[in-house]
Structure formats: structure tokens, C-alpha cells
Amino acid sequence: MAKCRWAIGGTLALMFMCSAPSSPGADEKPAPDVKAPAAASGEAVFKMQEVSVFDQKEDPQTANFRMFGSAMASCTTKPATEVKAYPKLNSKRALYGMVVVNRDPEKPGPGTKCYFVLDESGTSEKAAEKPAEKSGEKAAEPKKSSGPRYDRLYFDANHDLDLSNDPAVSVMKDPPENAFQFLGNRENCQAFDTVAVQVGDEGAKDQTVRVLPVLIYNAGLETLYRGAGQVTFLPASARKGEIRLGSKAYTAVLMQPRGSIGRMNYASCPLMLTPVAGAKKAPAYPWLNSLGMVREADGEFYTISATPSGDKLTVQCYSGDRGVLEVSKGKRDIKEIGMAGLLQSKGSYLPLGDFSYMPTEKSKIAKYRLPVGDYMPAILNVTYGDLQVSLRADYTRSQGGKPASNMEIRNDKPYVLDFSEKPEVKFQGPPQDKVFQPGDNIRLAAMIAIPEKGLLIGGLDDLTKKVGEMKWTAEGKEMSAPRYESLEPTVVIADSAGKKLAQGKMPFG
Amino acid sequence: MPKDLKLSGNEETLIATVTYDTKDLYGKIEAKREIKLKKPEEEKEDKGEKTKK
């Protein structure tokens, strides 16, 4: 969407945001020691080992993904009425709380409630009086000498609402420093030992993921007791193993869901595949590293699913019908056409071509044979002669109850994108019924829609005019790509007599 | 919106015209949007134009 703000003085102030892209798709090559899959069109199950996310220091992608996951719980001095039984507590000022796990980021729901209580053993005050060097331990607790010392955690890991059958969790003696990377002041954080939370269906006790509880002393221990405390639960475990897609072998790292903790079988759970053959790493762009993404290898499409704990990955080769998606010149006299992008279908993503987040490279593939189904373009970058057109689903249609876009890929009829449909400019602002006063900020926002296709043009660049370089850092490397002139629309604002009051350019958004 | 913008009357409708040059894709596309303005109440009062309640 193009946005334009008419600022004081009658000039047009333009806003432009640019996100750093990831590198293009991996250059995957067959692993020399990998045999052809037992069943190219069948299903294969791979075991995944539990690993600590804090040990994956060599992998910046894992570190980046870690920051997205966590769940916070505020503490209170009152026990939860839902809890059937608490353990016998030593402290008279225990702190109670509840955290929600197993929340699918893409399907809002109640999740699973896990209650906990923080207790004081009464023994840590003496230990705290000793210098850390003499005790041979790192200072795992905040340097506070007064107020409560919560050194025991009871966590309802099996969520049976009975905390009396859960073991006391102690303060972690040597917490991983990178656990505190995104938690603010390290001195205010106290980590407990990791807890194995049951995430499987009832009775599946072996389906667990590990979380790291960190008590955060926001404003000192005294204030904490009055209810200002908070426990942040970080994902502590991931799963790692080797899997195959067709003849290619990959090291797979599966993580707990973004923005949450718990089950690893949600479509949005990060799943990074790194070719064993030593080719490039997978790009860091999040959508390209999700469990629910459809992957392509050796010309075949594969879907991957996981158990709740992630201890097994199942790779399924698509064997159904395929249909054609193509971009066409239509009646235009243009030479180069092609497209690359990311399609969405029922919670999963399908990358097209050598997709990069930024539409900087010319796409040369004009026709794809895809699994039949209904798709929506999350991003579709089309090279159309001297133009680069960035398309996406028209989300404004879904606000009116219609599907945002529906690219119907069928086996008997190609879906053709030839830009022959009539475009339409859609204004998103200012509201038509609103009356402004001089001095008000007015947000003028417009975009080109292709109503018949349910598409929006989110960007339009002239590939004959290079205007600079984009630079960014990805996986520790300096990257760059050409930046082409954006065919931004002009805006003229005139009064009722037709007198021009302001004019300027509006960026594509 | 400039604060010192003079309106022709208590209310005025401005027109914002947006023009895209999409070249080979669709050529030029133009669209217009009305922006309705009114004077602040205190300015109406200063000029004795405020409506009696």
C-alpha cells in the first residue's frame, strides 16, 4: 500500500521502510553417501534427538529464532482456585502464577494452562552470604541481600492441576548466558533448572519439551513480593536429526513455536534444513523455515509433519495431481517474463523458484507445475519485460468476508497471470466520511488492485533504471543487491477551485 | 494539513489525485479522493459565523 502524509507546510513527507532480505534459496546438491529414498512417492519417518537451544551457539539462525519464542507469567500472592493441590510450602510469602503453553500462533485458542508456585527453602540466604568464588558457583541469583529469596519452583508439568506431585525445581547453578540475551538486565534474572512439560495427548508422558523458567526481578525483591514479579519461560529444547527429501540429505533443526512455547508440531514451528552436502545454508527468512512449508527436491514436492515433542519427523512425498501456474505476455510485446515468490495454502507455504524477500533479481521461470489446490500469494514477484511487479493477496477483500485471493490450480485448466484484467485504485485513507480541520494529519493511502484476481500490486520497479545498492547482513555476511527505480505514483492535492495546494510522490508500501 | 490553510467558506472539499504510470503493464492509471475540511469552531466564532445553539 502506498502511503502519503501531508505534513505542515503543505509538503508531502514520504515514509519508507525496508526490511533486510535473506539470501536466496539453498543450492542443494545430492549428498554423495545418500541412496535414493526407499519410496519416492511414499512416507518416511526420521528420529530427532533432543538438544539444548542454548548449545546451538554456532548457528545464528537458531539464536535468531530463539528470540521469538517465550511465554510470560505474572506472579501473584494468591493461590489459584483452579489448582487442586499445592505442595507444602516453606515460605509465607510464596508467589503463584500460571503460564499458557501449546498455543498455535496461527490458530488462536486457549492453549494449555500450567500453574506454578515459587517457594523459599530458607537455605539460600546463608549461601548468599558466602562469596560466589568460595562456593565455587557462579552467582545465579540477583545480588540482593534483603527480601524474599525464591529458590524453589513447583511447576505443573503434567497439567493435572496437582502441584503436590511435581518435584521441586532448583535454581540453576550455571545458567547459559545466552539465555538472558533478550531479557534485559542479567542481574535481575534468576534461572531455574529446565522443566520437561508434557505436550502430547493425555497419557503420552514421553511427549515433552523443555522450557527454562526465568524469574525476573523487575523492581527489587521487596516489590516482587507485592506482585510485580514475572516468570518468563524460554524454549530450552529443540530437536535435531538428519532427514531426506528425495535423494538429498539435510540436517534438520526443529524448534518450539514462534512467540510461544510447547508443541513442536504446529505448521509455524521453525524447521531449518541445512544440506548435508555442504552447500549453502537455508535462507533465514522465517516463512522459508517453517514446519508447514512445502519443500521441493528432485522435482518432487514434500510435506513434513512432526510429533508434538518433535521426536519424529514424517516426510511425505506429494503424489496427487498437478496443475499449471503461469505468467504470460498476453498481447504485449515484451521479452523476459518469469515469477518467483511464496504461495500460501491452508496454513502451509510453497516457495516458487529462487525466491528472495526482495524483488531484486529477474525471475526467469514463467511456468510452474504445482500440486492442485487453492493458493494465495503471500508475495509474488513477477518479471514482466522491463518491470518487476510485486503482487500479494488483496487482504481488503477478506475484511469484507470474501477470500483474499484464490489462485485455483487445477489439473485441467492453467491459472494464467497476463495482466489483462482491468486494474482499480483502492484508497485505504483518508476515510470518506471523516471531516478534517486545517492542522490535522491526513493519511492518504492507495494501492492498485486487480479485482478479478484478488491481487494487489505492492511494488512496481523499472528494471532499466538502477538507482543504488541495497546492503544488509545475513548469516554474518555482507550482502548487496541492485535497487531499481520504483514507479511511485504522483499525488496532487487541489482545492475546490482547482488550485494546486501540494504535490509529491507516494511510495509503494 | 497546514494549520494556516485558508478555506473558502466554513467547509471545503479538496481533491487528491493519484496517478500511477505503470508503463507496459496498464499505462497510466488515475484516481481521485475527496478530503473534506471544515474550519475550527473558534475561527467561525471569531468571524461571527458560529451557529447559534
Pairwise CA distance, residues A373 & A277, whole Å: 33
State whether residue B44 is helix, strand or coil: helix
List chain B residues with CB under 8 Å of A446. 18, 31, 33
Q: Which residues of A289-326 are buried (b: 16+ CB within 10 A; e: fewer)?
A: bbbbbbbbbeebbbbbebbbbbbebebebbeeebbbbb
Mutation for B interface: A448, A450, A508, most B CBs within 10 A: A448
Interchain contact, A437 vs B39, CB within 8 Å = yes
Pairwise CA distance, residues A275 & A250, whole Å: 4
Residue of chain A whose Cα is closest to the Cα of B23: A387
Which parts of A58-191 are beta strand (E)?
71-74, 95-101, 112-119, 152-155, 168-170, 189-191
Q: What is the DSSP letter of A42?
A: S
List chain A residues with CB under 8 Å of B22. 387, 423, 448, 457, 460, 487
Task: Give the β-pairing of A407-409 and A367-371.
Answer: unpaired
For A105, other C-beta atoms within 10 Å of its C-beta total 15
CA distance B12 to chain A (A): 7
Interchain contact, A444 vs B20, CB within 8 Å = no
Alpha-helical (H) ranges within B1-53 are 41-46
pLDDT in tens, chain A (509 residues): 444 433 322 223 322 222 222 222 333 333 333 333 444 558 999 999 999 888 766 555 555 555 557 888 988 889 999 999 999 999 988 999 999 999 887 777 888 999 999 999 887 555 444 444 444 444 444 444 466 789 999 999 999 999 999 999 999 988 887 777 767 677 778 899 999 999 988 767 889 999 999 998 765 555 555 555 789 999 999 999 999 998 889 999 999 987 789 999 998 898 988 888 765 555 555 567 889 999 988 889 999 999 999 999 999 999 999 999 999 998 899 989 999 988 988 878 898 887 665 545 677 899 999 999 999 998 899 999 999 999 999 887 766 666 666 899 999 899 999 999 999 999 988 988 899 988 888 889 999 999 989 999 999 999 999 999 888 776 666 777 888 999 999 999 998 888 998 899 998 76
DSSP characters for A381-442? EEEETTEEEEEEE-HHHHHTTS-S--EEE-SSS-EEE-S-SPPEEEEEES-TT-EE-TT--E
Has the ipTM of the complex gone over 0.90? Answer: no
Retrieve residue A209's grid coordinates.
519439551
Interchain contact, A492 vs B17, CB within 8 Å = yes
Interchain contact, A384 vs B7, CB within 8 Å = no
Pairwise CA distance, residues A423 & A208, whole Å: 52
Residue among A112, A137, A110 at smallest CA distance from A191? A137
Q: Count of CB contacts below 8 A, A vs B?
A: 121
Pairwise CA distance, residues A311 & A238, whole Å: 9
Residues paired with residue A457 on neighbouring β-strands, in sequence order:
A391, A448
CA distance B13 to chain A (A): 6
CA distance B44 to chain A (A): 12
